[in-house]
Amino acid sequence: MRTAYTSDQIRAAEAALMATLPEGTLMERAAAGLAAVCARTLGGTAGRVYGTRVVLLVGGGDNGGDALYAGARLAARGARVDAVLAGSRVHSAGLAALRRAGGRVLDGRFERVRALAGAADLVVDGLVGIGGTGALREPYATLARITAGADCPVVAVDVPSGVDADDGRVEGEAVRADVTVAFGALKAGLLVDPGAGYAGRLEPVGIGLEPYLPDAGVAALTAGDVALLLPRPDARSDKYRRGVVGIVAGSRRYTGAAVLCVGGAVRGGAGMVRYAGTAEPVAGVRARWPEAVVTELAPGEGVGGVGRVQAWVLGPGLGTDADAFAVARSVLAGDLPVLVDADGLTLLAEDRSLLRRDAPTLLTPHAGELSRLLGVDRARIEERRLEHVRRAAAELGATVLLKGSTTLVAQEGRPVRVNPTGSPWLATGGTGDVLAGLAGALLAAGLDCYDAASCAAYLHGVAGQDGPLAAGDVAEALPGAVRRVLNGLRHEDGAARLEG
């Protein structure tokens, strides 16, 4: 599992570690790790570093010092290193080390910096560290724009300048890095969009912080973690032990939602799927999924006659009229785990009393649906996804899976899980219905809401990585996604070491 921390947590750990070390040791460790990543990015061998052109963008904080010391190491290996001093102050010892190694210091004239960056083999962003918040000021904002025109890799020191280290906010110009070298531990904002989209490949560099770090507030599962969590049948298994999921979805207008949601559950490994709906979606489910046990509901009828299930999925394409409200109330009045999605979330926003239940509840909104549940502008939720998914879990008393370019799973008292397998190919109609069915199958198999949501998001992402595809293709790809995860674990001789 990959864990991530806030800037305050990192700084506190650094202070505790520095109290045990000679002065300057921590920066030396960070600079050595940064220089090694830069060398690999340039080409990996000493011969490749020799003769290359490196531009350092140097701010006035410790990140600037790290960049200067790393630049000194690269200059000592034969690179031509030019440092652009952007801050009102500079790390004097780092600057002296760079000059001793033969590095050059430039003024901050933008035309000259632009020309150098355009001809460079590598640009190192050491402008703003983990304490930076809000929009970049000048000259940092213009320097961030210049990096976008560099025809070479950009390596960010700890966090790309302009990205909030705590939650991934980007409020103006920001450096879009190809590689981010994270000292000691990952910062939460590197895992959450929009910041994650600026971070590129993450390269953690150990500097000895581990014993001083607190419990993480953000985590990302690896394939090995998911493999260990997934329920697997054994010799005693039957369809009931594997989990029976009930699905209430679809309507005359949205018959496909029922078909896709049932498909997510069937292909996601449910022991049995019981589908309940009105005539039109019932016909579609019967035609596409003969494996499902189907119950046709009369208008306004509840689910009392559907039969035994271990968890429910409620809402995809259900509609929001009085009949939909009646069936939603009958599902939520029970004592089984319930996943609520799509139109079910709209019904909850209209009547929050439906959430007054003691049984586990998993909500799977996108930002627009969450905005209705919380009464918060959608754009603000997109800007501060971590903040609002935590708020939703606490305020609504449920586990919340917030869909989007970065899918987040929050449950009060536990780290927010960030899904690492999301794919732009999943941005197509109906894929959320497949995800709901898959997560419902995992709930019925015995996973709690937190693990079911996390594993479903991971597998859904794996299934959607090879595009272009439609929602039905994602459902069909789920068995292969499960096999890839489980086989990967077996190939590691049972050790959960696969990365997301």
- Binding site for AMP: which residues? 403-407, 432
**Could you give the 3-state DSSP secondary structure of residue 172?**
coil
Place of tokens 């607190």: 214
Reduce the DSSP state of residue 245 to 3 states and report it: strand
Cα gap 27→119, rounded to integer Å: 29
User: Nearest-CA neighbor of 282 among 302, 322, 309, 255?
Assistant: 255
Terminal Cα-to-Cα distance of the chain (whole angstroms):
9
Cα–Cα distances in angstroms (integers) from residue 71 to residues 82, 142, 157, 392, 480, in the given order: 8, 22, 12, 45, 46
d(Cα 210, Cα 195) in Å, to the nearest integer? 24
Annotated binding-site positions for (6S)-NADPHX: 62-66, 129-135, 140, 158, 257, 317, 366, 433
Name the strand (E) or helix (H) holding 345: helix 343-350
Distance, in Å, from the CA atom of 369 to the CA atom of 352, rounded to the nearest integer, reads 14
Six token digits for residue 435 = 């995800």
167 φ, ψ to 5°?
-140, 5
Per the CB < 8 A criterion, the answer to whether 276 and 303 are in contact is yes
DSSP-based three-state secondary structure for 419: coil
User: Phi/psi at 338 (nearest 5 deg)?
Assistant: -130, 130
Please write down the HEC assignment for all residues of 25-74.
HHHHHHHHHHHHHHHHHHCCCHHHHCCCEEEEEECCCHHHHHHHHHHHHH
Token duo for residue 113 = 């910096």
CA 335 to chain CA mean position, Å: 31
Q: Distance (Å, rounded) from C-alpha 91 to C-alpha 67? A: 10
- Residue 114, classified by CB atoms within 10 Å of its CB into exposed (0-12), middle (13-18) or buried (19+), is middle
Q: Are residues 195 and 164 in contact, defined by beta-carbon separation less than 8 angstroms?
A: yes
CB 159 within 8 A of CB 179: no
**C-alpha distances out from residue 389 to 280, 321, 377, 456, Å:** 35, 28, 14, 17
Using CA atoms, how far apart are residues 348 and 314, in angstroms rounded to an integer? 11
Q: Which residues are annotated as a binding site?
A: 62-66, 125, 129-135, 140, 158, 161, 257, 317, 366, 403-407, 432-433
Dist CA 324 CA 342 (whole Å): 12
> Running DSSP on this structure, what letter comes out for residue 340?
E
Nearest to 474 by CA among 439, 433, 418, 445: 433
